[in-house]
Structure 1
């Protein structure tokens, strides 16, 4: 199992500005979701994450980086990131296609990197709450 890394709000902002089509942001907040989100994020609440994430996996596998967060990224965000990383890896190992070991290794190398947003949405909002275009509202 791969080690998960954290990404800072500043680095994520840079990625959003430079290559927004290469990343996906997954917001796993539940009851604490108040209608504000990072632009372009997909909301998959942690209480339904396992049941819901599979419908997004094909699209997520096309990205270079996946950033997962909850409010503070202390429990739900890291847990969802670990689960997502495992689901992506299992998609290859459990493939019904006959793949050689080298083909599987290449697929593993091309899997998106899963990151956890350091400080979660709270840190993002604290840093960028007043800047236009960096928070979307329902």
Structure 2
């Protein structure tokens, strides 16, 4: 039996979202100094919160931030990502993870960012997953 939390949910979600988003959108875990040249970008980060059922089921809280050149485009892409996560992710199986229930903890909302040449919209999701048996 795999250890609880043995799924790297950031890596699995990045790969899964990248396949959904296509080649024109960058999906990553960290942003860097090239962010402005790599718009639109979706950033995936697990929060230091959540838990497990004591066996194999991991309950992860994950922030999904969208960076785009305008507020409207950032909200539109955040809405697409929300739809993918809520409707397509439950039941999905990747090489390392089986995804279960997904819910919105905090819906897409504008979040501040230091660079005024881009806009950031973020949401928080609760995602249940476990390692592939």
> What TM-score, normalized to structure 1?
0.31
Structure showing the higher strand proportion among its residues:
2
Q: Which has the higher contact order (CA 8 A, sep 6+)?
A: 1
